[in-house]
Amino acid sequence: MEIRPTQIDELPRLSEFLTTQGMARSPEVLRWKFWQSPGHPAGESTSFVARIDGRIVGHVGILPATLHLGQAEKPTFDGGWFVDWMVRQDLRSRGIGIFLLREAARVWPTLMTIQGSADTREVLPQLNWSQNRRLAVYKLNVRFGALGRSAGITRRAAAQLARLLYYHPVTHCPPSGWQLINAMTVPADAQWDLLDDALPPRGRNPNGSICHLQRSGPFLRWSFRDHPTRRYNLLMAEDPAGAAGYAIWRTCRRADGKLEGRIVDVGLEWDRCDGWRWLISVVTAHLAAEGAAQISCLAGDDSPLSEGLRQNRYLRRCELGLWTCPQATELTPGARWHLTFADSDIDTAAEV
């Protein structure tokens, strides 16, 4: 068996392998993720393949990430998310996945992931990885039939009753002097360039240690405006001083044909609770108007994002573990996390 970095001319074969294993990835998306992402070495791949007799039988990819820890002595921390981890079905339980992960960790020594598969829960503890359980998917059932066909009749009845009793459109007023940036004055494409001004300043997050992805205008534009599928929407807010916050969302069609909405990312200063609940209510209204049956968002338990979701009647529905490798000692279990769906393995880890 050979394990090595993926070569760019292998992308069509890697795409075919991942797709046949139930993880559809086009060559364009793979090139975008593992050759063009901000922060990875220029011209080098952050994708690794396992090959037997010249055929791809396994894969793992790395997305570089910078974390903001809220600590004076070490305000930022470099790491990477491992994603698209897959071994050919008939060769599983033979250690190929572990070899892939060890090779990725050799090149990228501090790794994290959010995955919920049974294989992950079995393998990562054996490698001394730790799990932070203070993250959850918050969901709001907007229409009847939000649950998939696989849900039992009792669960479906309970969900419908909860929707009738609990869900009502929530309208929160904007903070004084705040408003949405009008697309008539700033076209939608041009609004993406304002993200640099809307990002909250570092070092001003309250209440102790905080861990979250270090956002930047280039990173957000690469992740969502320049995504090969072009399926993301942006909403910008401003206060009297200028751009003050943003929200990114998308819709997707589930296997049962129903439309699902996802709040992908929200950003503004952490202590503006009134801004969080207002911006989330606006995005929720947009997704409901587009016909979403259910809306989802991933958040840390004690983040302003989760509080804003609860104030808009979202319910904590699905716990997801944040796994960190043994080298990530700075990422303590007590740290406050702000996370969202973005483009990761959460699609499979948090199935409805």
Dihedral sign computed on CA atoms, order 141, 170, 200, 321: negative
Please indicate whether the domains covering 2-109 and 135-349 agree at the CATH topology level: yes
Which numeric CATH code is attached to 135-349?
3.40.630.30
Q: What does the pLDDT read at residue 351?
A: 39
Lowest mean pLDDT among 76-80, 81-85, 312-316: 76-80
Confidence of residue 339 (pLDDT cuts 50, 70, 90): confident
Q: Is the pLDDT of residue 53 over 90?
A: yes
Reported as type and span, the H/E element at residue 281 is helix 273-289
What integer best gives the mean pLDDT of the chain?
A: 81
Using the structure block, give the residue that is written with the tokens 């070569």.
7
Q: What does the pLDDT read at residue 343?
A: 46
Q: What does the pLDDT read at residue 78?
A: 77
Q: What does the pLDDT read at residue 175?
A: 95
Q: What one-letter code names the amino acid at 84?
A: D
Instruction: Report the distance separating Cα 348 and Cα 246, nearest Å.
Output: 26
Give residue limits of the domains in the chain.
Answer: 2-109, 135-349
Reported as type and span, the H/E element at residue 318 is strand 315-324
Confidence of residue 216 (pLDDT cuts 50, 70, 90): confident
Give me the percent of the chain exceeding a pLDDT of 70.
78
Confidence of residue 20 (pLDDT cuts 50, 70, 90): very high
338 vs 137, 210, 306, 308, CA distance in Å?
12, 8, 8, 12
Instruction: Express each pLDDT in 137-186 by its tens digit.
Output: 899 988 765 555 556 667 666 666 665 655 566 789 999 999 999 866 78
Region 201-208 average pLDDT: 50
Instruction: Express each pLDDT in 222-270 by its tens digit.
Output: 888 888 877 889 999 999 999 999 999 988 887 778 888 999 899 888 8
Q: Which residues contact 55 (CB under 8 A, 6 or more apart)?
A: none
Q: What does the pLDDT read at residue 156?
A: 64
The CATH number, out of the four listed (2.40.30.10, 1.10.1200.10, 3.40.630.30, 3.30.420.140), of the domain defined by the range 2-109: 3.40.630.30
Instruction: Report the distance separating Cα 143 and Cα 160, nearest Å.
Output: 9
Higher pLDDT, 115 or 314: 314
Report H helices in 78-211: 96-107, 118-126, 153-166, 188-191, 195-198
Confidence of residue 110 (pLDDT cuts 50, 70, 90): confident
Lowest mean pLDDT among 5-19, 217-231, 325-339: 325-339
Q: What does the pLDDT read at residue 163?
A: 59
**Phi, psi torsion values for 276, nearest 5 degrees:** -60, -50
Instruction: Report the distance separating Cα 31 and Cα 37, nearest Å.
Output: 9
Q: What does the pLDDT read at residue 201?
A: 63
Instruction: Report the distance separating Cα 297 and Cα 5, nearest Å.
Output: 33
Q: Is the pLDDT of residue 333 over 70?
A: no
Q: Do 342 and 231 touch, CB atoms closer than 8 A?
A: no
> Which of 303, 298, 263 lies closest to 282, judged by CA?
263
Cα–chain center distance at 341: 3
Q: What does the pLDDT read at residue 302?
A: 81
Q: What does the pLDDT read at residue 202?
A: 53
Q: Is the pLDDT of residue 312 over 80?
A: yes
Q: Is the pLDDT of residue 349 over 50?
A: no
Region 29-46 average pLDDT: 79
Lowest mean pLDDT among 12-16, 30-34, 342-346: 342-346
Q: What does the pLDDT read at residue 155?
A: 64
Higher pLDDT, 86 or 326: 86
Confidence of residue 119 (pLDDT cuts 50, 70, 90): confident
Confidence of residue 346 (pLDDT cuts 50, 70, 90): very low
